[in-house]
Chains A and B, each alone.
Chain A
Amino acid sequence: MLRRILTLRAGRLAVGILLVVALLAILGPWVAPDVPTAKPLQSLSGDHWLGTDYLGRDVFSRLLEGSRDSVLGSVLVALVALVVGVVPGLLSVLLGRVFEWTTLRLVDTLVALPFLVFAVAVTALLGNGLTQAMLVTGVLVSPLFYRVTRAATLAVAHSQYVEAARISGASIGWIVRRHVWAKVLPPIAVALAQTIGVGFIIVSSLTFLGIGVQPPAPTWGGLLASDLNYLHYRPFAPLAPALLIMVTVWASNLLADAIRDVSGAAGRALVDARKVAAR
């Protein structure tokens, strides 16, 4: 799959950017230069590549330090959504009517809720932690996974080749392993990539509203939100975190598109066609 994604230019770009982001997340806190605090709100200089923040901390180091939480945050959102969405999505097709009905109603509920309002409200009720905010957001975006999984599973479950397998005496487990998984995984991967993007935007919006912040732990969203308060001193300061967020979201979307493009029979054909054209 990855190899196929890499045959697309957009796919290479997306994977490249996300790799850098992942590296930032893993190494960021380690490589962040431990610059002592200095005069607050300096603009760019040799000592402080991106200037200093309102407490005189080096913005560049803060961005690096913040990478892990920022990335983990949206990955956590996506993972929560994945777990909460995929399993019921699969089971809604394979288990009985009662389960199907119940989960469908629950998903209808979640979809009906205005995202941020709910995230804000529930985080208020659950206490003001980044983790709470993430869990809530994850649950709120889980319908995407539920629907995607369910749709893919439904399509496969009613296909002739599954019927053919049943006629050969295959069990449900066999059918899922052999026929369903391969069809369900690509749309889940698409949803996962999309959700990481959505997660970034939502988590940063919540941070802007002051929800889910646990100072002094920096996040890109938090840095962006606080930079907006000092526009007069450092007008271009929000650019760095904003670009990081936007590029990451963009790369996630690109990746989602690339996965969509190369998955399934049509995707294979596309990739093959490109290979032929390249020769």
Chain B
Amino acid sequence: GNGSAASGDGTSTLRWATSYFPTHWDPVVSGSGAQFRELALVYASLTKTDENGNAVPDLAESWTYNDTGDQVTFHLRPKLTFSDGTPVNAAAVKAAIERAKTQKNSALFGDLTSIKSVTTSGDLDVVVQLTQTDYQIPLLFGERVLQVASPAADPTALDQKPVGAGPFVVTQLTPGTKVVLKKNPDYWDAANIHIENVELVSAPDAATVVSGLQTGVYNFADITPNNAEAAKAAGLDVFVQPGFNANNISINVNKAPFTNPKVVDAVRHAINRQEFVDKLGFGYGEATDQPFPKKYVAYDPQSADKYAYDPAKAKELLKGIPPIKLTLVIPSADPQAEIVQSQLAAVGITVDIKVDKNWATPFFAKDLTLSLYGTTGRDSAVQTLTAHFGPNGPLNLSSPYQPAGFEAAVAKVRQTPLEAADYASVLQAATRAGLESKALVFTYSSPNLLAKSKSVSALPANPGHIDWTGVKIG
């Protein structure tokens, strides 16, 4: 390989090609999970997560709950400013939370149902009143839900002129394609940011991303597993950023044939998770039957292998049921669909794959019978659980159906402080309750696979996040 073609400029520039280039730079509006990693270049949040998925300080130095657990106060770091000079104070954070709750095109208000009101106490203390006891709030106010934009900036202009208090400042932005940033000297942790410039571009065809890395057009990019070998062969560092990715088969129990629980069970047993890993993972990723990775606190070992791969049993369950023909609707061509198709075919269920650009309409209106979805997860495990299994969870194709006992189990988690001794078991119980849901069959977790040129040093292994603290280039 030849790494010098375009990297001769000396200063430490991160040239990042991403397949998830943000469609919108207002953190309140942007909807997709993966894009928050890019937005985090510009915006800091109240908290962030550490390697174990625990909430740690970001803009907030610390936080304190009241005794009943229905009020939490975040204590901000002093003397911080947004890149437009506006101070990062309690008023600014209050405004940010309220904007996320009220702005017309907010994609977040569904996540903020626990928030009753926000008040300030002094310049640096933000007091959040909750509708219920909810110890998840510090996790919630991380990168996914509360990236804080400057209150002085016009919200409608944020898309083109993002103003945050993150590690970098946007100098030039071409919507949908490219953004150029430079280091923010006023970032609270600027001392640990060693990258001077960032050029983030929307990635080309997956097959040519590796060539781009190899020839120095980029020095950092997400890659697809099938390109990992090639990237390694080209002398690149290939690594997996841990995360909460989990793919599932979404089932609508309100529609035939899934109104029949036997059919649902048959599907559960027909799925060979390992085949997904073998064929799509190229040595990365793992089979999963939960929306959490094995070592994560929310992972419930008791639920493991509850519906093991057993085609014989699936066929048995389908006996006496008239032949089933299903349409699997997906937004774009995806080999997962072909695997699902062939596995279901093996137990006698015929599946037609339909690629529909308009997929989102029927999916979120819960009009589909069978579909696929993959989540990138959330920092708060409760949030992940309610999104998938809750009666109004966007990822629950069977709304308003929810598994029995799930609601109570979740409430219990919220009421358990994160540092409580039984937090893990309470949380796992909620996961167990959720997994009773007939609406979802988890298949495998695709890895957050990244490749970088050797000149870029290793990244902190924070799950689901791409954190540039301490990373050096050169």
CA distance A232 to B411 in the complex (A): 50
Mask of B195-228 contacts with A, CB within 8 angstroms, 1/0: 0000000000011000000000000000010110
Q: Is B206 a contact partner of A210 (Cβ separation < 8 A)?
A: no
Contacts of A56 in B (CB 8 A): 279
> Is A155 interfacial (CB 8 A cutoff)?
no
Among listed B180-188, B244-252, B329-337, interface-contacting one? B329-337
Give the residue name and chain of the B residue nearest to A232 (CB): B230
Q: Is A214 a contact partner of B355 (Cβ separation < 8 A)?
A: yes
Query: Contacting A127 at CB < 8 Å: which of B224, B278, B358?
Result: B358
Q: Is B341 a contact partner of A40 (Cβ separation < 8 A)?
A: no
CA distance A232 to B333 in the complex (A): 21
Instruction: Give residues of chain B (392-411) contacting chain A, Cβ–Cβ below 8 Å.
Output: none
Q: Is B337 a contact partner of A55 (Cβ separation < 8 A)?
A: no
Q: How far in angstroms is the closest Cβ of chain B from A140? A: 20
Contacts of B278 in A (CB 8 A): 40
CA distance A94 to B447 in the complex (A): 65
> Is B84 interfacial (CB 8 A cutoff)?
no
> Is A215 interfacial (CB 8 A cutoff)?
yes
Q: How far in angstroms is the closest Cβ of chain A from B272? A: 12
> Is B342 interfacial (CB 8 A cutoff)?
yes
> Is B339 interfacial (CB 8 A cutoff)?
yes
> Is B229 interfacial (CB 8 A cutoff)?
yes
Among listed A103-111, A196-204, A223-231, interface-contacting one? A223-231
Q: Is A55 a contact partner of B229 (Cβ separation < 8 A)?
A: no
Q: Is B353 a contact partner of A54 (Cβ separation < 8 A)?
A: no
Instruction: Give residues of chain A (45-60) contacting chain B, Cβ–Cβ below 8 Å.
Output: 54-56
Instruction: Give residues of chain A (228-266) contacting chain B, Cβ–Cβ below 8 Å.
Output: 228-233
> Is B356 interfacial (CB 8 A cutoff)?
yes
Q: Is A215 a contact partner of B358 (Cβ separation < 8 A)?
A: no
Q: Is A215 a contact partner of B338 (Cβ separation < 8 A)?
A: yes
Query: Contacting A229 at CB < 8 Å: which of B224, B233, B332, B337?
Result: B224
> Is B295 interfacial (CB 8 A cutoff)?
no
CA distance A232 to B226 in the complex (A): 8
Contacts of B332 in A (CB 8 A): 210
Q: Is B355 a contact partner of A55 (Cβ separation < 8 A)?
A: no
Q: Is A210 a contact partner of B333 (Cβ separation < 8 A)?
A: yes
CA distance A180 to B230 in the complex (A): 60
Contacts of B334 in A (CB 8 A): 215
> Is A216 interfacial (CB 8 A cutoff)?
yes
Contacts of A54 in B (CB 8 A): 226, 279-280, 335
Instruction: Give residues of chain B (224-264) contacting chain A, Cβ–Cβ below 8 Å.
Output: 224, 226-227, 229-230, 233
> Is B104 interfacial (CB 8 A cutoff)?
no
Please report the total number of B residues contacting A with Cβ < 8 Å: 26
Q: How far in angstroms is the closest Cβ of chain B from A248? A: 23
CA distance A216 to B352 in the complex (A): 9
Given A55-B338, A215-B337, A231-B207, answer yes or no on A128-B224 (Cβ-Cβ < 8 Å): no
CA distance A231 to B338 in the complex (A): 21
Q: Is B333 a contact partner of A215 (Cβ separation < 8 A)?
A: yes
Most buried by A among B226, B333, B335: B333
Contacts of B233 in A (CB 8 A): 232
Contacts of A233 in B (CB 8 A): 226, 229
Query: Contacting B230 at CB < 8 Å: which of A55, A124, A215, A231?
Result: A231
CA distance A116 to B313 in the complex (A): 49
Give the residue name and chain of the B residue nearest to A227 (CB): B207
Q: How far in angstroms is the closest Cβ of chain B from A131? A: 13
> Is A37 interfacial (CB 8 A cutoff)?
yes
Chain A interface mostly helix, strand, loop or mixed? loop
Q: How far in angstroms is the closest Cβ of chain A from B157? A: 29
> Is B357 interfacial (CB 8 A cutoff)?
yes
Give the residue name and chain of the A residue nearest to B229 (CB): A232
CA distance A60 to B354 in the complex (A): 25
> Is A213 interfacial (CB 8 A cutoff)?
yes
Contacts of B355 in A (CB 8 A): 128, 213-215
CA distance A210 to B354 in the complex (A): 13
Q: How far in angstroms is the closest Cβ of chain A from B351? A: 10
Give the residue name and chain of the A residue nearest to B230 (CB): A232
Q: Is B230 a contact partner of A40 (Cβ separation < 8 A)?
A: no
Given A55-B335, A229-B224, answer yes or no on A127-B356 (Cβ-Cβ < 8 Å): yes
CA distance A228 to B211 in the complex (A): 13
Q: Is A128 a contact partner of B229 (Cβ separation < 8 A)?
A: no
Instruction: Give residues of chain A (23-47) contacting chain B, Cβ–Cβ below 8 Å.
Output: 37, 40
CA distance A124 to B335 in the complex (A): 21
Contacts of A210 in B (CB 8 A): 332-333
Most buried by A among B206, B353, B354, B355: B355
Q: Is B356 a contact partner of A128 (Cβ separation < 8 A)?
A: yes
CA distance A56 to B206 in the complex (A): 21
Q: Is A229 a contact partner of B356 (Cβ separation < 8 A)?
A: no
Q: Is A128 a contact partner of B207 (Cβ separation < 8 A)?
A: no
Q: Is A124 a contact partner of B357 (Cβ separation < 8 A)?
A: yes
CA distance A128 to B331 in the complex (A): 10
Q: Is B333 a contact partner of A213 (Cβ separation < 8 A)?
A: yes
Query: Contacting A216 at CB < 8 Å: which of B230, B280, B353?
Result: B353
Mask of A122-161 contacts with B, CB within 8 angstroms, 1/0: 0010011000000000000000000000000000000000
Q: How far in angstroms is the closest Cβ of chain B from A203? A: 15
CA distance A3 to B468 in the complex (A): 72
CA distance A54 to B335 in the complex (A): 9
Given A40-B278, A231-B207, A232-B233, answer yes or no on A214-B356 (Cβ-Cβ < 8 Å): no
Q: How far in angstroms is the closest Cβ of chain B from A85? A: 29
Q: Is A229 a contact partner of B353 (Cβ separation < 8 A)?
A: no
Give the residue name and chain of the B residue nearest to A230 (CB): B226
Binding site for B on A (CB under 8 A): 37, 40, 54-56, 124, 127-128, 210, 213-216, 228-233
User: What are 20 contact pairs spanning A and B, CB under 8 A?
Assistant: A40-B278, A54-B279, A54-B280, A55-B342, A127-B358, A128-B355, A128-B356, A128-B357, A213-B333, A214-B353, A215-B334, A215-B335, A216-B353, A229-B207, A229-B226, A229-B227, A231-B230, A232-B229, A232-B233, A233-B226
Binding site for A on B (CB under 8 A): 206-207, 224, 226-227, 229-230, 233, 278-280, 332-335, 337-339, 341-342, 353-358
Q: Which 10 pairs from chain A and chain B are nearest by CB?
A: A232-B230, A213-B333, A216-B338, A228-B207, A232-B229, A128-B355, A128-B357, A40-B279, A215-B338, A229-B207
Given contacts A210-B332, A214-B354, A229-B226, 9 further A-B contacts (CB under 8 A): A54-B226, A55-B335, A124-B357, A127-B357, A210-B333, A229-B207, A231-B230, A232-B230, A233-B226
